[in-house]
Structures are given as structure tokens and as C-alpha cells.
Chain A
Amino acid sequence: MSNDGVLQGDFFMDGDTACAEGAICAGCRFFGGYPITPATEIAERMSRRLPQVGGTYIQMEDEIASISTVLGASWAGVRAMTATSGPGFSLMMENLGLGIITETPCVLVNVQRGGPSTGMPTLVGQGDMMQARWGSHGHYEIIALAPSSPQELFDLTIRAFNLAAKYRTPVLVMTDETVGHMIERVIIPPPEEIELVYRRRPTVPPDDGYLPFHADPDGVPPMACAGDGYRIHVTGLTHDEKGYPDTVSVETQRQMVERLIRKIRDNRDDIIELREDQVEGADVVVVAYGISARTAARPVRIAREMGLKVGLLKLVTVWPFAEDRIRELAPAVKAFVVPEINMGQIALEVERCAAGQAQTILVPHAGGGLHAPDDILEALRRAVQ
């Protein structure tokens, strides 16, 4: 460990631990959370590690308080995070909306488990993916990342903080119980090798015309924080560029909502990350994310050995969805095969974007375990017929 408490080197750790360490490497110095299986280990690790790096851990009375406290800490200028699973994720939805409309950078980790409701607390699920997109009320865009390994959970937690700061938005890390609890090698690079992006600050001094919600050309407003002297007003009501509520103007609503949506959509080339393996020229493309992208690797290999031209498209970024890429591939492939540990969520997006130009074959799993490779292989065989 270096002097300031941040880790560095090769480790053998589980995903939850890697997530916490990734946050710390990213400069996260506030965690407000609540215990919930299978995300509790993140809270436990943060409670031990944050005081060692000069940060603050607080365990709140429920998940609603947790996300509220994270938003508050972010407005105090601190990189802040919370972690939960399905039931807590549902509780956090209202304030996720507050974070979106107030453009508050923060990271929310969901270690998904079997659902719905209390479901299977100790076992894997991927059933919250649509909720990640549409869970809060009103219309908005969201960024959600899906790691497939502890190393990737480490890396993507850092990326989440960077995206949150760059785009002034909450970012979701949609991992799952398998990745969260599996123990693998995690390499933590030295700080100089970790690229960090910080939120843009105002360029003018206070009382010189700074508007808290006036966007720069990329759609993101520079952010002043409490105590900086700008005397900002931040509200969850529809607001104008000054931040003042303007609840009866259709025009203000339109401008605000459209800018918030464009902020993400117009920057999707920067935000969307995909990992492609032999996708070009494939007859069938497996579209997968999270642990299912790993489960799919073996059936894809077996299918190729059988002579099938199969590609694997891993969605590292699940939201915003890779619409452009799917639309591009659809005329060229026979089918998309989508294995996911739910009864069909991202498959709906694939089908929508394929627009009938290719089949979409869902390989569902109700939850509690990973796909059997044969189930995916069977779908691949069906796809080429």
C-alpha cells in the first residue's frame, strides 16, 4: 500500500472488493450505503478503507437515505458512491431521478440477484437491466456499465466515476452476484497509469454571470458546488438555466428535457464501449453482457469448431444501448442470440434495433444460476437454420 492508503499491485480478490478498490483509486471519498446481499461486501470494504484514505463512510437507515446522502456529498464536491442490489435499487429510483435532473455526478452499483422482490438474495440475476434504463419516473437517459469479471468491475468502477464527472450524471454499474463474489486476479495499476476525469468547474468568478445549468457546447454545464461562493440554487423541479423552478412553462420543460437527453445521446460514441470477437462476417452474433458474456464464450468456441461463423458482441456499456451497431449488423447476419439471466430484456432492444432484418433469439434464464453452455449452443444451432 502506498502512503496515502491507495492500493497498488497484483491481488486475488472478489468482485465486490475490487469494486471498492476501484472506487478508491478513482478518488471516491464518500460512501453512503445500507447492507444488502450480495453488495454488503462493498460497504464493508469501504467502511474499513475510506478512513484509511481520508474519506467518510456512513451507513444510513435505508437505501433512500443512502442515495440522498450520496447526492448531497457530490454537491459538497466529493466523489461519492453507493452500492446495493435489486430491492434497494428499487428504493433508490426516485432519487436517481433527482440526480439526473440536477445533473449530480455519482456512481450507483447494483450487484444484481434473483428477483423479483426478495427473490434469491444469494444468487445471480440480470433482471434489473430494463429497470436501469426506465426505473425512475419521467423520461431521461442513463449510463449503465456491465462488467464480466472482478478485474473488469475494478476498471469499470473507475470508468463510471469518469463518465459521471464528464457528463454530470449518475452512472450505474450493473454487475451481478457471480461477478461480485467470484475471486480472481485483479491488477491495480499505479496511480499515474490510471486516467481520471474530473468534473468541469465554472470558468468565471462568483457574481459574474455563472448559470449553474447553462451547458457548454457538449451539452454539459460546468458545476459549482456548495461552499464555492456561487450561491447556486438546485431543485428537482423543472428549472431554467439559473436553476430556478419554472413549473408551468412548456418551453422550459422541453429545453431542459431535450438537453438532458441529448447530453447522453449525442455523446454516445464516447460513452458506448463494445468488445467484439469475430463479429465482422459472422452469420450469427451473440449479444451478451455481464457474466453471461463469459458464459457465452465456451458455446461460441464450440460452435466455431463445428464450423459455424459465430461472433460475440459484448456490451460493456449496456445503456445507452448500442443501437447503431445492431442496426449496422442486422442486414448482414441471420440472427442475434441473446443469453441473459432474465426472461428477455436487452433482447427486446436487440429485436427493436434489428427491425426484422435479422432474427433475435433469446436464451432466457429465470435466475439463480448461469446458463448451461448447451442451452446457448442449441440456440446457435437454431440460429443458422
Chain B
Amino acid sequence: MRLWRKPLDRDRVVVPRGEIHLIVERCKGCQLCVTYCPRDALEMSSLFNAKGYHPPQVRDHQRCVACGLCEMLCPEFAIFVVEVSGEQ
């Protein structure tokens, strides 16, 4: 993580990491999660779910910090993030 100034406690701060879970059949391809992920961790896939929508997929799993915005934004209760052990 690039830092402009180095906080005094940066050695002790753990950057959270997240694991994206998807209930793919609920997705309606609205792209809210992909567009508003602050870490650009998601992208649209070219796959189709049963309803014919493109679900999202993870672009770079290292970028997810488990902020939970995708989970809050998703109108379909189709995506959520589980925090996994972070790194310093």
C-alpha cells in the first residue's frame, strides 16, 4: 500500500482482506458493485446466470479490503464479503 505520509503505527495496522461470496442466481447485472468498489477489485464477467444476466467476478483478490460496500449496495442480496486474515 502506497502511503503519502507514514503513520507512526503503520507497523501495527493490519489491512483487512476480504473474500467475495456471490449468490449468482440472484444477480441482475446492475453493475453497482463493480462501479463503486473503492478498490476496483471487481469486474463484470462474460458469463451468464440462469436469468441471462452477467454476474461480477473478482478482478484482483488482493485488492479487496472487506469494506462491505458491495454488500450494502447490491439490490439483490447477491453479494457479500467475508473478512479473511489480513496482512500488515
A and B touch in the complex (CB under 8 A): no
